[in-house]
Structure 1
Amino acid sequence: MKKLMMLSLMIIALFGCNGESQEKMKDEKIKEVVAANKTAIDLLLGSSPKEFSVKTVDGSLFKSAENKGKYWVVFVYQNSYLNKSESYDLVSELNATHQKYGKHFPMIGIVNGFSDDATEMTKSILEARFNFKQIDNTQGPEKDEVINENVYCTPAKILINPEGKVVYNGCGGKTETFDALLDSLVRTNRM
């Protein structure tokens, strides 16, 4: 009787663990599929990011393919930059760059970070009053990033050439160096 009871407990333990293990494997597989379906974009210097389409916070669809054959700009930054700090105003700075060069170079902003409330995040991005399209790439308890990009230092200013190659990837506040590059392209009529 003890042997039968011991065997029963072992069988229950095996099936119980196996069921839990299968459930865990199923959850992991779902996460892998979701991660694989995210748009992966390589924005490192010298790379050629694949084409992507993503909904912007104003509801329109940004299609990188529309920029094929021309220089275009990607700004990547954390959501904490949406608010002016004592020492830095990213929104004002990027809007000034857009005002000066936006007619020559298409521009898109990618907002990264964490947000508990997707609706509030969208509202914050809209209230920041950028003069160019923004992609909400924040993540939260019920929201994953929409783009899997490899930018590790923000705020980043990225320039992609007409052949689709990243020719500039600068990090940190202030856009003087980036603006000088854009100005050089405008002056030499290489847009």
Structure 2
Amino acid sequence: MLKTIFISKNPKKKQRFRLILVLAFSFILILVANAMDYGNILRTQDTVNSVYDDRVVAQDYIYQLSGLFHQKQFSIGANEEVLGYLNDSILVLMSRFEKTKLTRSESDFFIDLRKNYEELTLLEQKFSLQTYPRISTQKDIQMELMEIRQNLDDLEGVQFTEGAQMTKRSTRALGMNALLSKIELVFLVIIGAISLYMILIGTNFMERVQ
């Protein structure tokens, strides 16, 4: 009688241990998958925010700067009030643009833009102090404005390139989230099937013992 009890309890403990082991292993896998899923969601959110804050907004700054420098082209020799308004607006936009997240190439283009703008302001001061003829200085101003337009074109190109790369990263992250969700669903089905199977085995075993 004692021998029968010993044999019957031992397999029962093994069944419970296996069930606990399967459930624990499955719980860990689901926990890891959820952690990866959450990390992908955070990265996607960060990328989406960066696309707006550092690309869409930056693109708007570049567009406004292009308009202001275009006005400068037709304001050579204008009164100090007009030039002061344009320069103040340009400095404000440059300060805002500098606060966005700049890539290495974008930072280099922006440094060139600032240098060319400083050269432009010096030429404008020289032009305002000169007496006629001022054709040479006016040509230098036009050349400097052409350099600035090229700087703005380079910065605009970076926005498109970086925006496209961020969109690709977001797409990959969303694809990974979808894959992890499918894996989690498969694990849940497997866990349910294994748990049900082991419960049925345990029930059948108890019936035979009885």
Higher strand fraction: Structure 1 or Structure 2?
1
Who wins on radius of gyration, i.e. which is larger?
2
TM-score (norm 1): 0.31
Higher helix fraction: Structure 1 or Structure 2?
2
